Chain A
Amino acid sequence: MVFYSGGDGEQNHTLDKELLRLCQNKSPRITFIPSCSFDGESDFQEFVDQYSSHKIYEFLYFPIDVPSDRVLQEEAFKSDVIHLGGGNTFYFLKHLRSSRILPRLKEFVKRGGILTGLSAGAILMTPSVATASIPDFDCDENHENITNLKAMGLVKFEFFPHYKNSKRYDIELKSYSKNIKHPLYACPDGAGIIVAKGVVKFVGKSFGFYQGQKFKLSFV
């Protein structure tokens, strides 16, 4: 699994390379799931531009907030990599649930598929989407009124994307970390986390928050 915080292709070059190293197929088949179909095509375009520089061409666009046919669904889960796009975490979670894709994604990871996510997409791979509600000054709107914040729980940490190493972020994140049982990993844009065979590896300058304390994480 790869957790992208945010940023553009150039910023994420190292993470992309790490991801491709994880793939056994030299020309992996990648499915892109946008968080919302409103801007989904533009996000897809950016995504394709980012990976086609690595000579990858086999992409599938799979929006889940619109109904899809069986053929597209089956093809999506035959991929080597499934990427969950960035956007509004609550909207994304609502539609992943209503389209019944969540269990299929978990199953996909279980049988060795590589699941990646950017920002909202990455948060959804963790036990909870609560981090999308913090900090107060830069959080996702919960227009969907989602009260059950449980996400896929594929890892035992929570994820905070677009982190800025500043006091006002730290106050909120320290406070938040006091009330959760897992550590919270915060990554700035361009940084991220790779989880493979039970090993957690940080790419780029990342930080952890646990029981009200902040700590630096060693990274590549």
Chain B
Amino acid sequence: MRKEKFDLFGFWPYLIELFYMVKISKAQNAALEKVNSQAWDYTRFRKIDGRHPLQTSVEDFAVLYKTRQRPGGKLAFFNFDFAKELGLIPKDHPEEMSEQLEEAIFYSFGIIIINEYDVENKVKIPEESIHQYPSMATRYLQMQHPDKRGSSSGDGRSIWNGTIKAEGKFWDISSCGTGATKLSPACNINNKFYQSGDPSISYGCGMSELDEGLETAFFSEILHKNNLCTERVLAIIEYPSKLAITVRAHPNLLRPSHFFRYLKLGNVRGATQVLEYYIDRQEKNGVYKDVPKNKKERYQYFLKKVCDDFARVTAQFEDEYIFCWMDWDGDNILMDGGIIDYGSVRQFGLFHHEYRYDDIERYSTTITEQKSKARYIVQTFAQYVSFVITGKKKSINSFKRHPELTRFDRLFEEYKDKNLLKKIGLSCQQSEYIFKHHHKLIKEFRKDFKYFERMKSKNGPYKVTDGITWDAVFCVRDVLRELPQMLLRRHEMIGAEEFLEVAKSNYATAADVKVTQYKKDKINSFGHLYLEIIRACAQHENLEQEKILLEVVMRSSVINKYDRITGDSITTIIQKLINSRPKIRPDQMYNILQNFASYQTLIPEKKVRSEKKSFDPILNKMFKIVRDFREGL
């Protein structure tokens, strides 16, 4: 982790504000005029009213809380693009905030629960501020909870706002920071109900912070644009003391931990109900196709899907250097492998495979241990399906050799091979061809790739602000970007010293980049196999090798772009944005995020050329932060 302090935005925001006022005020005024002159339909917001089918279709699934309007909020961010996808605003709605739209957002999401503390203490709440339907805080397993069985754990500071259907797809919507529920660890450890916002306790007070919300918004939007499955942020409402409500949505917000709770409690009825509900929703959303009607086959089908999803995302996390803390409880991840709760999620610049997050009571898994945790989740689902089918809970150990686990291992390796072929810069068809017809080539190449990717600094492990780490020393993404260009120009492999010069990061010491015979052999093998892959593609497509290399050069320059976000860069950027004065308006924040996410879209097919000749200083400063932190955590 870097410790340098940046003071980049000091006076810039004033200039930016001026810039916005002068430069784009005309366009903004026109858009504002449009948004204000037309009577837009915001009634769809009112459909998100707390009701959700899970409240009635699955027993003991949630604790229901009445909600009331929470005064004093200001909109900090609104995702116009996502709101259109959810059908909350019309497709042709200008990306400008209007009073009516703001009101609709506040009404549906600017709410707080009336919790046990409020009831016990007879806190006076104006009747007219109370919403008609209650919202649910869902119950799920959480390892940091004392009972470890899920009898009293779950959403400690979140509620599910409801569900909405748009373009044939159902979406779940939930909000974080809506008050303290009785499912929080603090409530159960200290055996008392907390007032929402109680300053004597931090995590159990039911609040969330603005920076958390914005980090989630930025991170999730970028990962979404890069084809990763994730929750996304619809809106952030800011409250005094930098608190906020963050509204998130996903087509299905169930986590493995929602299921595992029933398994731990031995509740077969609940286990069956939640399983049926999940399969049904996936089917309705078109994610599960041709689901068998027979119950046993239906549940086996589900298990296969879970195995597929977790093998795919775990390989993807590893290859994109995404640290997502998975554990036996199945918290911190969605059922379809989507990312949720960005609190500990990071994207590393290099393969820092020794990093562990320090969660006070325990250290997290490392990025390479994610695979065994995901595998364990699949194993638990094998146990779960058996439990639902037979009504008997067998020991988890009796599923150690379940065929789905063998399949998981195979799929994981296959996804890793395919991911690397794409990372090289081959097209989908080329990747598929090499995978099918020259599998040995990519398997062998992956060994050499892994050798450099996983090499650690001779300096050893050390503490960072939120955990421990041991620096990786090579950036193999840089090699994948530059090597094809060198091969194209020189028609031969670059030398060992040059290879290490390209690959070395700022963490590398002289000893790390010393050319040894072993490294030399590895570099030669890397180059040889790389060229073999290119040759195989050229032969298959009956093209000159140079043409394939040129294609790879162009694709790889996008995929392996020099500046890619890391967790540290996002954290730093968000702090700067929050501290900007004058404050950034919600529609400005949206524009900044859109531009930033577009710059961080590293998929050649999705790369859209910007019409802009230049970017405002705030974006340029953000780019610089990304560069400065690009090798970090």
A interface vs B, CB < 8 Å? Answer: 29, 36-45, 48, 52, 57-61, 63, 66-67, 69-72, 75, 78, 87-88, 90-91, 140-141, 143
Contact = CB atoms under 8 A, between A and B. Distances in A.
A75 B616 contact: no
A52 B609 CA distance: 20
Contacts of B557: 40-41, 44, 61
23 contacts: A29-B489, A36-B615, A37-B562, A38-B623, A42-B608, A44-B554, A52-B550, A57-B488, A57-B544, A59-B488, A59-B550, A60-B489, A66-B627, A67-B627, A69-B478, A71-B482, A71-B486, A71-B498, A75-B486, A87-B614, A140-B613, A141-B614, A143-B620
Interface string B615-633: 1110010010001000000
A42 B485 CA distance: 16
B485 A59 contact: yes
B501 A69 contact: yes
B554 A45 contact: yes
Given A41-B604, A69-B502, A72-B502, 13 more contacts: A41-B554, A52-B550, A57-B488, A61-B557, A63-B562, A67-B627, A71-B482, A71-B494, A75-B489, A88-B613, A88-B614, A140-B613, A143-B617
Contact of B613 (A48, A67, A72, A87): A87
A38 B609 contact: no
A75 B489 CA distance: 8
Contacts of A52: 550
B627 A71 contact: no
Given A41-B557, A143-B620, A70 B501 contact: yes
Interface of B: 478, 482, 485-486, 488-490, 494, 498, 501-502, 544, 546-547, 549-550, 553-554, 557-558, 561-563, 599, 604, 607-610, 613-617, 620, 623, 627
Contacts of A59: 485, 488, 550, 553
B558 A41 contact: yes
A71 B550 contact: no
B198 to A, nearest CB: 45
Interface centre among A41, A59, A90 (most CB of B within 10 A): A41
Contacts of A88: 613-614
**Interface of B, helix, strand, loop or mixed by DSSP:** helix
Nearest to A27: B546
Q: Which of A38, A42, A75 lies at the interface centre, i.e. has the most chain B CB atoms within 10 A of its CB?
A: A38
Given A39-B609, A41-B561, A140 B550 contact: no
B546 A57 contact: yes
Contacts of B498: 71
A36 B610 CA distance: 12
B515 to A, nearest CB: 14
Residue from the set A48, A72, A90 with the largest chain B CB neighbour count within 10 Å: A72
Contacts of B554: 41, 44-45, 48
A92 B609 CA distance: 18
Contacts of B610: 38-39
A88 B620 CA distance: 12
Given A58-B489, A71-B486, A42 B614 contact: no
A141 B620 contact: no
Contacts of B561: 37, 41
A48 B550 contact: yes
Nearest to A78: B489
B485 A91 contact: no
A61 B485 contact: yes
B547 A57 contact: yes
Between A42, A48, A67, A87, the greatest number of chain B beta carbons within 10 A of the residue's beta carbon is seen for A42
Contacts of A91: 614, 620
Nearest to B498: A71
A45 to B, nearest CB: 5
Contacts of B558: 41
A60 B607 contact: no
A178 B592 CA distance: 41
Contacts of A29: 489
B547 A141 contact: no
